[in-house]
Chain A
Amino acid sequence: MLELRNITAGYDTGTVLRDVTLTVPDNATVALLGPNGAGKTTLLRVASGMIKPYSGQILIDGVDVTGDPAFKISRKGIIHVPEGRGIFPSLSVTDNILLQCPPGDFKKGFKTATTTFPRLGERARQIARTMSGGEQQMLALSHAYVSNPHVVLLDEVSMGLAPKIVEEIFEYLTDLGKQGVAQLLVEQYVGQALKMADYVYILDRGRISFAGEPGEISEETIMNSYLGSLAS
C-alpha cells in the first residue's frame, strides 16, 4: 500500500500541490484525473522520490520513506513510468530491459518482457531511439512487468499514440491489474480510466477536489469540472 499524506510540494517556480492526501491500496487500480497543469505529474514525482515534498509524508506499507532518493524508493517496489518516453534512447532494447530488471534478474525479466511485448523480442538489438513511438512506449511499459513491482505509477502512457495502440496498452494494463499489481493511473482518456479504476481522485489546481469510486461520478461531470476549473 502506498500512502501520500498531506503533501505540499512544488518547484523553484512555485508551489504546485497543497495538502494532497491519496492512497493506493494493495491490488487496486486508482485513477488520478485532472486538467492540464493540475499537478498530476508532480504528485507522481513526489511519490517516486524524484522531488521532495515541502511537507507531508510518503508511506510504503506503513513505513515512512519521505525524503528518500528515487533509487531507494524504486528498490522498495514503487515503479514510476514517467511522462514522455521513459526509455534510454541511446541504448539498445535489450540494454534498456536489462536496466529495468532488478540487478541479477535479467534472464527472467527479458523473457517476461518479450512474452508480454513480442515486438520487443523482435527488435532486441535495435537502438531505442530509432523505434516507433508505440514501440518505445511498450519498452517503457515493460519496466512495470519485469521488476516485480509493488505499486506502478503510470503517467499518461497513452500520450501521443494512435487509438489502436492505446487500446492495446490499456489491455496490457488491465492484465497487470489482474496479476495483483496496484496501479496509480494518470490518464487523458477519462472514460477508459474510469472503466479500469477501483478508485478515482480528481486533482484540481493542486488540491484533491473529488475522491471516491467510479460509480459516484460520471465522465461528463469530470469533463465539466475540467471546464469549470478553466473558467474560474
Chain B
Amino acid sequence: MNQFLNYMVPGVADGSVYALAAIGLVLTYKTSGVFNFAHGALAATGAYVFYEGYVEQGWKWPFAFLVSLLVVGVLGGLILERLATLLASAPTVTTVVATVGLLVLLQSLMTAIYGASDKKSGDFLPTNGPRVGDVTISYGEMMITGFCLGAALALFAFFGRTRMGRAMTAVVDDPNLLALQKSNPAVVRRLSWVLGSCFATISGMLLAPKLGVSVGVLVLIVIAAYGAAAVGLFENLPLTVAGAFFIGILVNYLPSQTQKTQSLFLQSMPRNVPFIVLLLVFLFVPARMLTERGVRNARRFKPPKAFSLPVTAAGLAALLGLMIAVPHVVAETDVTVYSAFVAYAIIFMSLGMLVWMSGQISLCHLGFAAIGATVSGKLMTLGFFGWLPLVGDKTVSWPVAVIIGGLVAIPFGAIVAIPAIRLAGIYVAIATFGFGILLQQAFYLAPVMFDGASLVQHPRPGEEFSVGATSKRFEPVEGTSAGLFGIDFSNEKNYYYLALSVLVVMAAIVLLVQRSRLGALLRAMADSGVALEAHGANTNVMRIIVFCLSAFMAGVGGGVLAGVTQSASGNPGGTFDYTVSLIFVAVLGFCGRRPILSPILAAFAFQVIKIYPPFDDPTMIKYRGVMFGALAIFVAVAPALNLNTLLGTRGKERALDAEGGGGGSSVRDRLDVTPVRPVTIRTVEEPVLLGSKGSGA
C-alpha cells in the first residue's frame, strides 16, 4: 500500500497538470474546430519565458510566472485566435499544416535561442511537506494539484452555468447565428483561446522543475494531454480530467514494474502510455462518437491549374534534364547533398501523394522511412537476430533490399490507416502523430530497428562494410555487398544517378496512380467521401491502398537516404526523428500542390538551400525551422487573407463590374449564371413544382 502511495502522490500531481493542459486543448478545439498541434510547444515556450525571468533575470517566481502567463498565455492566445479565425473555413489538412507549422516554428525558435540541452528552472515551489508513512507529500505538489483542480472546477461551472460558457459551444455550431443572438463571436473565441493557452502555459511552467526546461521533453509530456483528451473524446471535460489522472498515475507507477524486466521495449512503456491510450481510443471507440468539429463550413481545395498533356510532358522532361545535369554543374563536394535531396524528394513525393490525392495527412512519414532504412540496411549487412541473409556468399543486393524495405513499411501503413478508415480527418492526423512518436520511443531502439545507439550500416552496391558487435550478436561482421552492373558507387555522382533513377520510378508510380481510376476515385473521395460511398465505391479499401502505397514509397525513400551516408541512426534529433516528419509537413505545405514538382521543390528547400548563400549563414541555418514554420502558416492562411478588402467595398464592386463587362446588363448576366435550382412556389392547398431556370430558356 505504502509503495503504491509512493507513486500515487506524484501521479496525482502529474495528472492534474496533464488535466490542465488537456482541458486547454479540448477547450480551444471545441470552440474553434481547430486542433492545436502546437499546444505542447506553447507549454514549452511558457516554461522558457519563465526560466528566462526566474533564473536568467533573477526575478521573484510569482513575477516571472505572471510575465510568462501574460506573454505566452494571453498574447499567444490572442494571436492563436486570429490564426484559428483565418483557418475557420479551411480544409482539415490546412489546419493541420498551419498548427504543425506553428509547432515547428516555436520548437526551432526555442532551440535556436536556448540551445538543445535542457535548462534547470529550479524548484520554485516548496519541496518539503508532511509525511504519510514514509512518503513525503510536498506542499508544492499539493499546491499544484489544488490549483489545477480548482481551475478545472471553475471551468466546469463556467461552462454549465454562464451564458458565455454556452456561447463557447454554440460558436462552433454557427458563429453567424450566435451574432444574430446578441453575442459577439470574436469575443467568445478570443476568451476560449486565451484560457486555453494560459492553461498550456501554466502546465509547462509547473512541469519545468521536475523535467527541466527542454523543448523536446515538454512537447512530449504535454502530448500526454492528447491521451487524456482522447479519453474525453475531445469534448467531455470531466472525462478528460479523469483520463489525465489515470495517465498520470500509470506513468508514475509503471516504471517500478517495468524496471524489473530486461526488455528495452517494456522499459519504454511508461513514457508511451498516453499514445497507447490515444491509439486504443481511436481503434475502439465508435466512430460516431468522434465527429470532427467545425468541418461543416469547410471550403474545398481548388485543384492546381491543369496544363495540357504536351505542356506537362515537356515540363517534366525539362525537370528531369535539369536533375540529370546537376552533378556536372554543382561543386564536386556538394553532390552528396544532392543525393540526399533526391532521397528526400522520394519521401516528400509519397507524402504529397497521400495529402493531395486523398485529402489525408500523415505526421509519421519519417517513421516509415526509418523502417525502410533499417530493414534494407540489415538485409544487406548484419541480418536480423543473428540470421545472415546470404545467398551463396552474397548478401541481398541493393535494389532488392530497398524494395523489401519499402514492402515491410506497408503493414505499418495499413495499421496507421485503420483510424483513417473509421474516423474523420483530424483524428487521423492525431493518430499518425501519436504513432510516429510511439514508433520512435518504443521501437527505434529495439534490436529489430536501430538497436540502441548503434548505427545501422547501409552499404552502397559493391561496397565493403563492417558491422561491430551488437546486443544480439557478439562477433563483428565484415563483407562486401552485392554489386550492381559493376558500377563504382563510391563515386558520388554514380550514387546520385542511382537515387535519381529510383525517384523517376516513384514519380512514374505517382503519375500512373493519378491517371488511373483509383486516382479519380481518390480525388472524388477527398471531395466528398459520403457521396462516393453512395455510388458504391469502397472508400475504406481506397484509404488503405493509398496509405500503404505512400508508406511503401516512404520506405524506399528511407533506404535511398540511408545509402547516402551508408549508415542510419535512430537517435532523438537525428535524421529519422519524429520532428522531421512535422517539418516535412510544414515544408510541403508551402511548396504548392503539384504531384511531382512540389515534392522536389520541398526537398530542395529542406536539404539543398542551406548550402548556398545567403542561406548558409549560421544564423540562417539556426532559424531555418522558424522560417519553414512561418511560411507554412502563411500559406495556410493566405486564402483567408482577402486581399480584395484593400480595395474597399466600393472598389470591390467596381472590380466585379469591370469583370462582368460593366453596364447594367451585366447584373442580369451574373444572376443568370447562378447555380440552377428548381423553383418551388407553393400555396397551402397545392404545391406546384415549376421547371428549373435551365429548362425555362
Check if B677 sits within 8 Å of A99, measured CB to CB.
no
A89 at the interface (CB under 8 A from B): yes
Closest A residue, CB atoms, query B673: A14
Tell me the complex Cα distance, A90–B169, Å. 8
Check if A103 sits within 8 Å of B163, measured CB to CB.
yes
Residue-wise interface mask of A (170-212) relative to B, using a CB-CB cutoff of 8 A (1 in contact, 0 not): 0000000000000000001111100000000000011000000
Tell me the B151-172 residues at the A interface (CB within 8 Å): 163, 166-167, 169-170, 172
Question: Assuming A55-B650, A71-B183, is B684 touching A88 (CB within 8 A)?
Answer: no
User: How far does the Cβ of A161 sit from chain B's closest Cβ, in whole Å?
Assistant: 11
A91 at the interface (CB under 8 A from B): yes
Chain A residues with CB below 8 A from B684, complex form: 163, 166-167, 189, 191-192
Check if B696 sits within 8 Å of A71, measured CB to CB.
no
Closest B residue, CB atoms, query A219: B683
Chain B residues with CB below 8 A from A88, complex form: 169-170, 173-174, 177-178
Chain B residues with CB below 8 A from A69, complex form: 179, 184
Check if B650 sits within 8 Å of A99, measured CB to CB.
no
Closest B residue, CB atoms, query A166: B684
Partner of B681, one of A166, A206, A223: A223
B644 at the interface (CB under 8 A from A): yes
Task: Determine which residue in B169, B172, B180, B674 has the highest number of CB atoms from chain A within 10 A of its CB, and name it.
Answer: B180
Check if B696 sits within 8 Å of A37, measured CB to CB.
no
Tell me the A14-33 residues at the B interface (CB within 8 Å): 14-16, 18
A100 at the interface (CB under 8 A from B): yes
Question: Assuming A75-B182, A91-B166, is B173 touching A70 (CB within 8 A)?
Answer: no
Task: Determine which residue in B181, B653, B690, B691 has the highest number of CB atoms from chain A within 10 A of its CB, and name it.
Answer: B181
Check if B667 sits within 8 Å of A188, measured CB to CB.
no
Partner of A82, one of B176, B185, B660: B176
Check if A205 sits within 8 Å of B683, measured CB to CB.
no
Closest A residue, CB atoms, query B672: A205
Partner of B649, one of A54, A82, A166, A227: A54
Chain B residues with CB below 8 A from A59, complex form: none
B668 at the interface (CB under 8 A from A): yes
Tell me the B634-662 residues at the A interface (CB within 8 Å): 644, 649-650, 652-653, 656-657, 660
Question: Assuming A15-B667, A50-B180, A88-B173, is B681 touching A99 (CB within 8 A)?
Answer: no
Closest A residue, CB atoms, query B180: A80
Partner of A70, one of B170, B179, B660, B691: B179
B670 at the interface (CB under 8 A from A): yes
Tell me the complex Cα distance, A36–B598, Å. 43
Check if B671 sits within 8 Å of A99, measured CB to CB.
no
Check if B182 sits within 8 Å of A102, measured CB to CB.
yes
Question: Assuming A55-B650, A70-B179, is B683 touching A91 (CB within 8 A)?
Answer: no
Residue-wise interface mask of A (72-102) relative to B, using a CB-CB cutoff of 8 A (1 in contact, 0 not): 0011000110100011111100010011101
Tell me the complex Cα distance, A95–B169, Å. 10
Tell me whether chain B's interface is mostly helix, strand or loop, or mixed: helix
Chain A residues with CB below 8 A from B172, complex form: 90
A12 at the interface (CB under 8 A from B): yes
Chain A residues with CB below 8 A from B173, complex form: 88-91
User: How far does the Cβ of A76 sit from chain B's closest Cβ, in whole Å?
Assistant: 10
Check if B176 sits within 8 Å of A226, measured CB to CB.
no
Check if A36 sits within 8 Å of B679, measured CB to CB.
yes
Chain A residues with CB below 8 A from B649, complex form: 52, 54-55
Check if B180 sits within 8 Å of A230, measured CB to CB.
no
Check if A226 sits within 8 Å of B677, measured CB to CB.
no
Tell me the complex Cα distance, A53–B180, Å. 17
A137 at the interface (CB under 8 A from B): no
Check if A15 sits within 8 Å of B656, measured CB to CB.
yes
B682 at the interface (CB under 8 A from A): yes
Check if B653 sits within 8 Å of A99, measured CB to CB.
no
Chain A residues with CB below 8 A from B682, complex form: 188-190
Check if A36 sits within 8 Å of B677, measured CB to CB.
yes
Partner of B693, one of A50, A143, A230: A230
Chain B residues with CB below 8 A from A91, complex form: 166, 169-170, 173
B680 at the interface (CB under 8 A from A): yes
A57 at the interface (CB under 8 A from B): no
Chain A residues with CB below 8 A from B652, complex form: 54
Tell me the complex Cα distance, A143–B179, Å. 13
Chain A residues with CB below 8 A from B670, complex form: 13-15
Question: Assuming A54-B653, A75-B182, is B170 touching A99 (CB within 8 A)?
Answer: yes
Check if B671 sits within 8 Å of A37, measured CB to CB.
yes
Check if A82 sits within 8 Å of B656, measured CB to CB.
no
Check if B650 sits within 8 Å of A14, measured CB to CB.
no
User: How far does the Cβ of A105 sit from chain B's closest Cβ, in whole Å?
Assistant: 10
Chain B residues with CB below 8 A from A35, complex form: 679, 681
Question: Assuming A70-B179, A86-B180, is B653 touching A206 (CB within 8 A)?
Answer: no
Chain B residues with CB below 8 A from A80, complex form: 180
Chain B residues with CB below 8 A from A167, complex form: 684
User: How far does the Cβ of A129 sit from chain B's closest Cβ, in whole Å?
Assistant: 9
Tell me the complex Cα distance, A188–B176, Å. 24
Chain A residues with CB below 8 A from B681, complex form: 35, 188, 190, 223, 226
Check if A191 sits within 8 Å of B683, measured CB to CB.
yes
Check if B693 sits within 8 Å of A99, measured CB to CB.
no
Question: Assuming A98-B163, A98-B166, A206-B671, is B176 touching A70 (CB within 8 A)?
Answer: yes
A114 at the interface (CB under 8 A from B): no
Chain B residues with CB below 8 A from A205, complex form: 667-668, 671
Check if A100 sits within 8 Å of B660, measured CB to CB.
no
Task: Determine which residue in A35, A71, A74, A191 has the highest number of CB atoms from chain B within 10 A of its CB, and name it.
Answer: A71
Partner of A190, one of B671, B683, B691: B683
User: How far does the Cβ of A100 sit from chain B's closest Cβ, in whole Å?
Assistant: 6
Check if A74 sits within 8 Å of B656, measured CB to CB.
no
Closest A residue, CB atoms, query B235: A90
User: How far does the Cβ of A132 sit from chain B's closest Cβ, in whole Å?
Assistant: 18
Check if A74 sits within 8 Å of B181, measured CB to CB.
yes
Chain A residues with CB below 8 A from B166, complex form: 91, 95, 98-99
Check if B696 sits within 8 Å of A230, measured CB to CB.
yes
Tell me the complex Cα distance, A190–B691, Å. 18
User: How far does the Cβ of B31 sit from chain A's closest Cβ, in whole Å?
Assistant: 12
Check if A74 sits within 8 Å of B677, measured CB to CB.
no
A136 at the interface (CB under 8 A from B): no
Tell me the complex Cα distance, A95–B166, Å. 7
Chain B residues with CB below 8 A from A49, complex form: 179
Closest B residue, CB atoms, query A230: B696
Tell me the complex Cα distance, A79–B180, Å. 7
Chain B residues with CB below 8 A from A103, complex form: 163, 182
Residue-wise interface mask of B (467-486) relative to A, using a CB-CB cutoff of 8 A (1 in contact, 0 not): 00000000000000000000
Chain A residues with CB below 8 A from B657, complex form: 15
User: How far does the Cβ of A20 sit from chain B's closest Cβ, in whole Å?
Assistant: 13
Tell me the complex Cα distance, A203–B85, Å. 34
Chain B residues with CB below 8 A from A106, complex form: 163
Tell me the A126-179 residues at the B interface (CB within 8 Å): 143, 147, 163, 166-167
Question: Assuming A15-B670, A90-B173, A231-B696, is B181 touching A99 (CB within 8 A)?
Answer: yes
Tell me the complex Cα distance, A205–B671, Å. 7
Closest B residue, CB atoms, query A129: B173
With contacts A71-B185, A88-B173, A147-B182 known, what are 16 further pairs, Cβ within 8 A? A14-B671, A15-B656, A15-B667, A16-B671, A35-B681, A52-B649, A80-B180, A82-B177, A88-B170, A88-B174, A90-B173, A91-B166, A99-B181, A206-B671, A227-B690, A230-B691
Q: Which 4 A-B pairs have CB atoms at the shortest separation, nearest pair first? A: A70-B179, A14-B670, A88-B173, A88-B170
Question: Can you report 30 A-B residue pairs in the complex whose CB atoms are below 8 A from each other?
Answer: A10-B653, A12-B644, A15-B653, A15-B670, A16-B671, A35-B679, A35-B681, A36-B677, A37-B671, A50-B180, A54-B650, A70-B176, A71-B179, A71-B185, A74-B181, A80-B180, A82-B176, A88-B178, A90-B169, A90-B173, A98-B166, A99-B163, A99-B178, A102-B182, A163-B684, A166-B684, A188-B681, A189-B682, A190-B682, A205-B671
| A interface with B by C-beta (< 8 Å) | 8, 10, 12-16, 18, 35-37, 48-50, 52, 54-55, 69-71, 74-75, 79-80, 82, 86-91, 95, 98-100, 102-103, 106, 143, 147, 163, 166-167, 188-192, 205-206, 219, 223, 226-227, 230-231
